[in-house]
Chain A
Amino acid sequence: AQSVTQLDSHVSVSEGTPVLLRCNYSSSYSPSLFWYVQHPNKGLQLLLKYTSAATLVKGINGFEAEFKKSETSFHLTKPSAHMSDAAEYFCVVSRDNQGGKLIFGQGTELSVKP
């Protein structure tokens, strides 16, 4: 069975410092992996996705993630945090033979201090 584990429920950084949000996945097949962001009282927005084309994936707002099959990880990074990055982030896995169901991690809340 597929699963996703986000290793930190809460991450706090200072503005201008790097961001690292960690995600490990479990899948018997080649998965599609996503990062979604949810700002307070808003819906979910796709940040980036991995679909086996390239292991380093660039997304919106300066975020990127690297797929590491040997470590079953898909960590999200950004070189320099901005106040507007404060939100909840979800690592998500999907596969075809479950109708493309999205399996969400528990979420990581990112706080950015001035």
Chain B
Amino acid sequence: EAQVTQNPRYLITVTGKKLTVTCSQNMNHEYMSWYRQDPGLGLRQIYYSMNVEVTDKGDVPEGYKVSRKEKRNFPLILESPSPNQTSLYFCASRSTGTSGFSSYEQYFGPGTRLTVT
């Protein structure tokens, strides 16, 4: 089954304790992305990756890191989490082409609900 998986699904942690949220896709997609969802703001992009070893900032990258060492995996790293990073996080992936790839559907993971106290 084609899917994007995230782990953990729920996480409660304390300020300053480093954490990693994993994301994996089995569709051989080149493009992967992280979003955070906050009430009344929709989803906002944190980081994205066009392919292995190619990453770039989205709209709200402060306080986050990512890496793309393998095509299927795109972990989100919070080196020193703070309470304002309490949110619902989604990983997404899609295929890319030479053009018109903005029309391709993005597939979303189930989400990770993070609480930082």
Please list the residues of chain A having a beta carbon within 8 angstroms of any beta carbon in chain B: 9, 31-32, 34, 36, 42-46, 49, 51, 90, 94-96, 98-102, 104-107
A-B contact count (CB 8 A): 64
A9 to B50, CA, bound (A): 33
Q: Identify which of B31, B43, B56, B101 contacts A104 (C-beta below 8 A).
A: B43
Q: Is B81 an interface residue (CB 8 A)?
A: no
Question: In the assembled complex, which residues on chain B have CB atoms less than 8 Å from the CB atom of A96?
Answer: 99-102
Which segment of B11-19, B65-73, B108-116 sits at the interface? B108-116
Query: Which of A43, A49, A106: most chain B CB closer than 10 A?
Result: A43
24 A-B pairs (CB sep. < 8 Å): A32-B102, A34-B105, A42-B110, A43-B90, A43-B109, A46-B105, A49-B103, A49-B105, A51-B103, A90-B43, A94-B102, A94-B103, A95-B102, A96-B100, A100-B94, A100-B101, A100-B102, A101-B45, A101-B48, A101-B58, A102-B35, A102-B92, A102-B106, A104-B35
Determine the distance from Cα of A90 to Cα of B41 in the docked complex, in whole angstroms.
11
CB contacts (< 8 Å) of B48 on chain A: these are 99, 101
> Which residues does chain B contribute within 8 Å of A32, judged by CB atoms?
102-103
> Is B7 engaged at the interface, CB distance under 8 Å to the other chain?
no
Report whether B43 and A102 are in contact in the complex, using a CB–CB cutoff of 8 Å.
yes
Q: Are B90 and A44 in contact (CB under 8 A)?
A: yes
Contact partners of B100 in chain A: CB under 8 A: 51, 96
**Known A-B contacts A44-B90, A94-B103, A96-B101; A104 and B44 likewise in contact (beta carbons under 8 Å):** yes
A43 touches B110 (CB 8 A): yes
Minimum Cβ distance to chain B for residue A45 (Å): 8
Task: Provide the residues of chain A in CB contact with B110, threshold 8 Å.
Answer: 42-43
Cβ B104 vs Cβ A100 within 8 A: yes
- Give complex CA distance A56, B94 in Å: 24
B106 and A106 within 8 A (CB): no
| A105 CA / B48 CA spacing, docked (Å) | 19
Given A42-B111, A100-B104, A100-B106, 4 new contacts (CB under 8 A):
A43-B90, A49-B105, A96-B99, A96-B101
